[in-house]
Chains A and B, each alone.
Chain A
């Protein structure tokens, strides 16, 4: 009886401990983001207040209104940055997907000499630190006169995204059984038809999530963009975020609002792909 009680107590204790641990972990994960959202809605006076104001008194969307209300307030062309980010990210994603699909298919369906070496070689190009890559690109692009253009950023992001896109798409194509395409070919499809009508639709959700991943990489990239983009012509949102930092003061509220604007598309897209992303990355970890 006594032993039973002790055992039950221990179990309950462990359960409480587990819940507390889980709660604390989630708090640490979510709090910074919530803090940003909260502060984008408060007036600057309240952010600066000493002692701190814990219960927000004056919630308003003024920061957002000022940001999108043209260059009047603060004079930061958020619309232009937003448009640049969209154009660059979407175009580079589409191109990277096409190239990545070809490459991923080659890795998933063919055996060839030095396959593993080629794959590693692709990955290594991704490992080059952005800032180190920015030096030669800056020199070359300046000479070619394509610095501060959409074209240069798209080109860079395609190259940046291709290795990882290939890794992911390779995983997704491997999940599609080979027999299916073979059966289609026996039934009279050409290999090309078998690909488009059998393998592509089955790997489709995975490919879409690889695309979203590529989009997010371009959307979030800073080290290269900060050197290659110079003006409203091509500056992206991450670079634009720094516009709120002047020499001595920082417009915390404005920065928080822009941060929220940057994170919302990323948030939405990541939720859509989360399941596929993990399965694409881990495929081949367990079964070949």
Chain B
């Protein structure tokens, strides 16, 4: 519509003869919109519909029976669902906060290094390349009670004589999963915050120091506000695929022992594919989708606000 290039107006008539009503940006965005509509939006509408039916894979005719909100009601009143929901929120809260904090620490450590920064930065990216499945497998191996690295070290150092059942005890298993999650995603924060630190002008920091700020004050009121947008980019990226935790949990414990590490996503998978209750699973899945979307919108807003604060255009 508002073309930024005045010269392009001359070319416009030919363009418009072929596609009378579409403007250039619409045309350029069309392929993306078509693909996303076909593979994501339409299937989601279908799953929204099927969440109002008692659909089971084994009984195809049940897709035509509409039972209203009964799936949602039974999901929202079941203890199993709320336990999984609460555990998911707990896991995300702990993991994201720890990742932000550790990522900040790691970025500052690397930024302070005088030599070998390139190498350090490369090493820092290491966990990002691991697919969640690999992370899950790797930590399943490390935390194995019999032959795992962690227990081997603890026993060799004589810290404990008996094997600690990392993945067999419910609470320890959740802890192990959080460790795996933090290991795999801290680097996202570290890398982006480090990019912020490197791009930061030094004058305000020096000015603050000259004016007598303590190092903490300098960090809190000068450095941190500047790093905020970078941290928010990391948060937005993370919030786009928090559900990757599914892969890790699936491999490490598969929701066990005795459903003590069941997350929203593993519960959906189990209800759909093991119990074959598709309608019910879709209802639960929709709740998890809404959760993800709220999450993303929240951080996207914060990102926009943080950008505006330091005067960037969006």
Q: Mark A106-131, 1 if CB is under 8 A from B, else 0.
A: 10011111001010101111111111
**Residues of chain A contacted by B266 (CB below 8 angstroms):** 131
Known: A103-B31, A136-B50, A185-B5. A28 touches B133 (CB 8 A): no
Q: Could you tell me how many residues of chain A have their Cβ less than 8 Å away from some Cβ of chain B?
A: 100
Q: Is the CB of B293 within 8 A of A127?
A: yes
Residue in A33, A39, A110, A285 whose CB lies within 8 Å of B24:
A110
Q: Is B210 an interface residue (CB 8 A)?
A: no
Q: 7 A-B pairs, CB-CB below 8 angstroms?
A: A112-B2, A123-B300, A127-B296, A130-B244, A139-B50, A223-B265, A238-B247
Let me know if A285 and B307 touch, CB within 8 A.
Answer: yes
Asked if A185 and B8 make an inter-chain contact with CB atoms under 8 angstroms apart, the answer reads yes
Give the docked Cα–Cα distance between A18 and B113 (Å): 8
Closest to B121 in A: A274
Q: Is the CB of A162 within 8 A of B36?
A: yes
Q: Tell me whether A131 and B265 are in contact in the complex, defined as CB-CB below 8 angstroms, given that A25-B109, A223-B246 are known contacts.
A: yes
Asked whether A162 lies within 8 Å of B35 as measured between CB atoms, the reply is yes
Q: Identify which of B247, B281, B296, B297 contacts A222 (C-beta below 8 A).
A: B247
Cβ–Cβ contact B5 & A191, under 8 A: yes
Residues of B near A29 (CB, < 8 A) are: 123-124, 126-127, 183, 187
B240 close to A126 (CB less than 8 A): yes
Q: Which chain A residue has the least Cβ–Cβ distance from B191?
A: A278
Closest to A190 in B: B11
Pairwise interchain contact A281-B237, C-beta atoms closer than 8 A: yes
**Chain B positions within 8 Å of A26 at CB level:** 120, 123-124
Q: Is the CB of B133 within 8 A of A220?
A: yes
> What is the interface of chain B mostly: helix, strand, loop, or mixed?
helix
Q: Is B7 an interface residue (CB 8 A)?
A: yes
Does A6 lie at the interface of the complex (its beta carbon under 8 Å from any beta carbon of B)? no
- Contact segment of B66-74, B75-83, B91-99, B282-290: B282-290
User: Are B40 and A263 closer than 8 Å at their CB atoms?
Assistant: no
Chain A residues near B112 (CB-CB < 8 A): 18
Question: Given A99-B31, A241-B137, are A135 and B288 neighbors across the interface (CB < 8 Å)?
Answer: no
B312 touches A128 (CB 8 A): no
Question: Roughly how many angstroms separate A178 CA and B272 CA in the complex, as a whole number?
Answer: 50
Q: Which residues of chain B are within 8 angstroms of A220 by Cβ–Cβ distance? A: 130-134
List CB contacts (< 8 Å) of A1-50 with chain B: 18, 21-22, 25-26, 28-33, 35-36, 39, 47-48, 50
Query: For window 262-285 of chain A, which residues contact chain B by CB distance below 8 Å?
Result: 262-263, 266-267, 270-271, 274, 278-279, 281-282, 284-285
B17 touches A (CB below 8 Å)? no
Selecting from B148-156, B165-173, B217-225, the interface stretch reads: B148-156
Shortest Cβ distance from residue B4 to the other chain A in the assembled complex, whole angstroms: 6
Q: Closest Cβ of chain B: how far from A188's Cβ, in Å?
A: 10
A35-B141, A124-B297, A278-B191 known; A222 vs B132 contact (CB < 8 Å):
yes
Task: Tell whether, in the assembled complex, residue B230 and residue A285 are in contact, meaning their CB atoms are under 8 Å apart.
Answer: yes
